[in-house]
Structure 1
Amino acid sequence: MIGECEPFSTYPRTYDLIHVSSIESLLKDQASGQNRCNLVDLMVEMDRILRPEGTVVLRDTPEVIERVARVAGALRWRPTIYDKDPESHGREKILVSTKTFWKL
């Protein structure tokens, strides 16, 4: 069973930039390895604290980046995926996603 995500303490602030390296570390309890929450819950919480036209920069594996990009699109963020610096070793990709300003 997946537990509840704890909300980030942000009062009275919102943010223009959120940087995450390995989103899996936020989803799993480090001691037990069990899931604390799911990706959608975490990204909805990020959406809550991110100002309109704010940006999320995320580094992770290609598989995780693809999952995050799908959720970002559903939240009406504009996701763009980049390859990591080719001279670095590893399989990381970088997602840069901007929260859109909704107009009615």
Structure 2
Amino acid sequence: MINADRCEPFSTYPRTYDLIHVSAIESLIKDPGSGKRRCNLVDLMVEIDRMLRPEGTVVIRDSPEVIDKVGRIAHAIRWTSTVHEKEPNSHGREKILVATKSFWKLPST
């Protein structure tokens, strides 16, 4: 889990999770009053990766701009992801990223 006030990880040992759902991930990285950055999105995604069990799934809902950034990071940390367009009542203001963490395998020699 993330302590969003200080951008520090909580201890989850010895647990990992099969499913993590995040709604409005941008609210975890920006201060609501000033709009200034509190956390780095890459650090937050790596922390989610740490908590997620291999072959676990993460579902992230946010604006199209944020989901595009999250999608690039998801690819970099080797998640298999798909982006789903808006929900019927979101009027294009929301996208949903569904990603699965894969096992990292060494290339065969």
Determine if the TM-score, normalized by the shorter chain, exceeds 0.5: yes
Match of 2:53 among 51, 54, 64: 51
Q: Secondary structure in 2 aligned to 1:80?
A: strand
Q: What amino acid is aligned across from residue 24 of structure 1 in structure 2?
A: E
Match of 1:66 among 45, 65, 68: 68
Q: Any unmatched runs of 5+ in structure 1?
A: none
The TM-score normalised by the length of structure 1 is 0.87
Paired residue secondary structure (1:41): helix
The separation in 1 between residues aligned to 2:90 and 2:52, in whole angstroms, is 31
Number of positions where the alignment pairs a residue of Structure 1 with one of Structure 2: 100
Q: Distance in 2 between matches of 1:33 and 1:85?
A: 26
Q: Which residues of 2 match residues 1-104 of structure 1 at below 5 A?
A: 5-86=7-88, 88-90=89-91, 91-104=93-106
Deviation, structure 1 residue 84: 2.4
The list of structure 1 runs, each at least 4 consecutive aligned residues, that deviate by more than 3 angstroms after superposition, is 30-33
Q: CA RMSD in A?
A: 1.5
Q: TM-score, normalised by structure 2?
A: 0.83
> CA separation in 1, counterparts of 2:16 and 2:32?
27
Structure 1 residue 27: Cα displacement: 0.6
| In structure 1, C-alpha distance between the alignment counterparts of 2:43 and 2:7, rounded to whole Å | 7
**Cα offset for 1:64?**
0.6
**Structure 2 gap ranges (5+):** 1-5
